[in-house]
Amino acid sequence: MRKWMVLYRKEWLELVRTYKLIWVPLVFLLLGAMQPVTTYFMPDILAHAGNLPEGAVISIPMPTAGEMMAQTLQQFNTIGLLIIALSSMNGISAERNGGITAMILVKPIAFRGYVAAKLASQITLIGIAFAAGFGAAYYYTSVLIGTPEWRGSLAAFLFYWLWLVLAGALTLCFSALLRSGAAAAACSLGLLALLAVLGSLLPDALGASPGMLPKLAAAQYLDTDSSKSWLSVIVTFCVLAAALETAAFALRKRPAL
């Protein structure tokens, strides 16, 4: 355990030195605050745009607090996933290309522990960033529109946080399998998009798919069906374990590229 903590502190120091601990939460914070603020002031923004005919009346129905939070989660599902992939795409491949992985793993350190330390630091970063973004969205929605129901918000937070953790884990896994960090990010985002699309097209057959997690998060606000949520969570944890094992196996076969 002491060796694992040393590896975790190394990853934490890497987050500090590369400023990921600053810019990733900052981007999520802006994403979370932007959606309720722009939606609330959209009629004023359009009225002052200057290209509307005189006498034009702008009437945009204001969404409920729950609908606003669901819309904010959709923002995290596009730009948020991209930020997570960009922040973790070189997590393993860069160290393998530079020979650092071989230098570390020549010591009595478990391959699985090495990958787990990287995943744990990624989970910590995702938790801080998403808490900042979700908290900003909750605050501005409460101030401008109305207070969302807190139990549903807590469940939505946990479902979506798990979806983002899956994105980080898959990117790390592909980073161990591929030489290029950009290719790892592309493969991860492509797989996540495929899971989400298949979950939307076949909700009954793939109700336990990890791709249902964003829908389960939004369902906490929209009162849609979320009866298979526990199955989706269990399958997601299985996929996380498989990603960790696959990355450790790839490193065991080829510690350096």
Tens-digit pLDDT profile for residues 183-206: 888 998 999 999 888 877 877 777
Query: Is position 43 within any domain?
Result: no
Query: Is position 47 within any domain?
Result: no
Query: Is position 19 within any domain?
Result: yes
How many CB atoms are located within 10 Å of the residue 65 CB?
20
Query: Is position 152 within any domain?
Result: yes
Q: How confident is the model at residue 164 (pLDDT cuts 50, 70, 90)?
A: very high
Considering the entire predicted model, what is its pTM?
A: 0.88
Percent pLDDT > 70 in the chain is 93
Q: Residue 84: which domain range?
A: 1-33+65-253
Average the pLDDT over 170-187 and give the result.
Answer: 87
Query: Is position 49 within any domain?
Result: no
Q: How confident is the model at residue 226 (pLDDT cuts 50, 70, 90)?
A: low
Number of domains the chain contains: 1
Q: How confident is the model at residue 131 (pLDDT cuts 50, 70, 90)?
A: very high
Query: Is position 92 within any domain?
Result: yes
Query: Is position 12 within any domain?
Result: yes
**Averaging pLDDT over each range in 95-99, 207-211, 242-246, which range is the top one?**
242-246
Per-residue model confidence (pLDDT) at position 52: 65
Lowest mean pLDDT among 1-5, 58-62, 158-162, 241-245: 58-62
Query: Is position 56 within any domain?
Result: no
Per-residue model confidence (pLDDT) at position 51: 66
Average the pLDDT over 164-168 and give the result.
Answer: 92
